[in-house]
């Protein structure tokens, strides 16, 4: 463009000026930062509830999506519209970067997110952290906090108080301090011949799924109080149990597969008592996530119409409401 300017200078000054201005404007536009999207405002509801839900639209090549929750106690609850949360990474990295299951904890209004991530399809999974910026519709400040060569690390979740992150490392349950120290990861639980995965942490108790001898049908929920022998939840009808998550009150909600019916339902375990069924309305209720600041709402993926849709179970009403249709939803997280 500079060369063209000098060639045209003697014969077409007006054209030259126009081209120079266009080149200058294009260069200036290229340096402009991304503009904030319109802020997704939470709904004003009669009763307290989480404001947003964040979920993956596929696995392992999906992206995080954000949606504003409608009032979940209304008689009619509409489907939600979601927007992709952009990853604040260099463009060359953003295209190939993959994300997996994660969790969110709010510190002083800052929505800290931790998630499994990898730099490409052939890379090993590691544990990443960042901040969910609702105003900009993005995840900012992304950095790796656990990455071990030739080791698969995933399924991170914050402890109930936000101090720790528990995660799976090659079939063992590990934890790392979540508040910025240089402390190395520490192994919590292992069992010879078994894979431990999908951990959750409440006070001094860790829950996880135990799969032995590589058999998915052997999946069982383990409730492991520090310093004590692990307690395996009773088998229910011979089917596997998966995706346990602590509620804010310290109970466990998880997915139980009834092998005779071929469907999964939501169950709850109150420590010291027998598990009991909570919800069974869709073709398969999977991957439950309980709200952090109450015991009323549990998000989960429900199978129907050839996809996993987002549902939220309402304990007071004893029913669930469908919030998406026709898009696969994985790893949903309720967010205030």
Q: Mapped to the 3 state alphabet, what secondary structure does 296-334 carry?
A: CEEEEEEEECCEEEEEEEECCCCEEEECCCCCCCEEEEE
What is the distance between the alpha carbons of residues 223 and 171, in angstroms, rounded to a whole number? 16
* Nearest of 121, 51, 108 to residue 297 by alpha carbon: 51
Q: Report residue 195's pLDDT band, with 50, 70 and 90 as the boundaries.
A: very high
Query: What are the Cα distances from residue 35, in Å, to 41, 85, 133?
Result: 17, 14, 13
* Nearest of 304, 310, 307, 319 to residue 287 by alpha carbon: 310
**318-335 tens-digit pLDDT:** 999 999 998 899 999 999
Asked if 279 and 265 touch (Cβ cutoff 8 Å), the reply is yes
**Residue 302, class by beta-carbon neighbours within 10 Å (0-12 exposed, 13-18 middle, 19+ buried)?**
buried
* 18 compared with 56, residue with greater pLDDT: 56
**8-38 tens-digit pLDDT:** 333 344 444 343 344 444 444 343 445 556 6
Q: Which tokens hold the place of 278? A: 């909570």
* CB hemisphere CA count around 116 (13 angstroms): 23
Residue 94 is predicted with a pLDDT of: 87
Q: Report residue 126's pLDDT band, with 50, 70 and 90 as the boundaries.
A: very high
Per-residue HEC secondary structure of 139-185 comes to EEEEEEEECCCCCCEEEEEEECCCCEEEEEECCEEEEEECCCCCCCC
Asked if 119 and 93 touch (Cβ cutoff 8 Å), the reply is yes
What is the distance between the alpha carbons of residues 23 and 193, in angstroms, rounded to a whole number? 65
* 101 compared with 35, residue with greater pLDDT: 101
Q: For the residues of 89-109, what is the DSSP string, one character each?
A: S-HHHHTT-EEEEEEEEEETT
Residue 36 is predicted with a pLDDT of: 54
pLDDT beyond 70 at 265: yes
**228-244 tens-digit pLDDT:** 999 999 988 778 999 99
* Nearest of 259, 220, 254 to residue 239 by alpha carbon: 259
Share of the chain above pLDDT 70, in %: 88
Q: What is the mean pLDDT of residues 102-130?
A: 96
Residue 38 is predicted with a pLDDT of: 65
Q: Report residue 223's pLDDT band, with 50, 70 and 90 as the boundaries.
A: very high
**Number of other CB atoms surrounding residue 210 within 10 Å:** 21
Residue 92 is predicted with a pLDDT of: 87
Q: Is beta strand 194-202 parallel, antiparallel or unpaired with respect to 319-322?
A: unpaired
Domains of the chain: residue spans and CATH: 1-31 (no CATH), 43-335 (2.120.10.30)
pLDDT beyond 70 at 122: yes
Residue 21 is predicted with a pLDDT of: 40
Q: Report residue 260's pLDDT band, with 50, 70 and 90 as the boundaries.
A: confident
């Amino acid at each position: 463009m500079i060369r063209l300017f000098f060639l045209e200078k003697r014969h077409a000054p007006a054209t030259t000026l126009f081209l120079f201005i266009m080149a200058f404007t294009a260069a200036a536009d290229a340096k402009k930062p991304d503009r904030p999207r319109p802020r997704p405002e939470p709904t004003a509801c009669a009763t307290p509830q989480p404001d947003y839900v964040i979920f993956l639209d596929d696995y392992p090549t999906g992206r995080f999506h954000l949606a504003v929750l409608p009032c979940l106690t209304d008689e009619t609850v509409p489907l939600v519209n979601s927007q992709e949360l952009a990853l604040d990474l260099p463009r060359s990295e953003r295209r190939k970067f993959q994300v997996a299951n994660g969790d969110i904890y709010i510190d002083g209004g800052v929505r800290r997110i931790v998630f499994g991530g990898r730099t490409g399809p052939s890379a090993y999974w590691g544990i990443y952290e960042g901040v969910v910026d609702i105003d900009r519709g993005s995840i900012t400040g992304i950095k790796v906090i656990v990455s071990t060569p030739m080791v698969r690390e995933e399924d991170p979740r914050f402890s109930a108080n936000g101090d720790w992150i528990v995660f799976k490392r090659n079939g063992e349950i590990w934890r790392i301090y979540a508040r910025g120290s240089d402390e190395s990861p520490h192994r919590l639980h292992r069992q010879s011949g078994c894979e431990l995965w999908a951990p959750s942490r409440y006070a001094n108790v860790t829950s996880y799924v135990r799969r032995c001898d590589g058999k998915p049908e052997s999946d069982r929920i383990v409730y492991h109080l520090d310093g004590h022998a692990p307690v395996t939840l009773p088998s229910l009808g011979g089917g596997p149990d998966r995706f346990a998550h602590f509620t804010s009150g310290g109970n466990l909600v998880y997915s139980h597969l009834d092998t005779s019916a071929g469907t999964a339902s939501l169950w709850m375990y109150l420590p010291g008592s027998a598990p009991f069924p909570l919800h069974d309305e869709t073709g398969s209720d999977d991957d439950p996530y309980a709200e952090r600041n109450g015991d009323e709402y549990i998000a989960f993926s429900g199978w129907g119409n050839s996809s996993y849709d987002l549902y939220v179970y309402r304990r007071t009403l004893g029913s669930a409401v469908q919030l998406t249709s026709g898009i696969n939803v994985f790893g949903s997280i309720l967010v205030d």
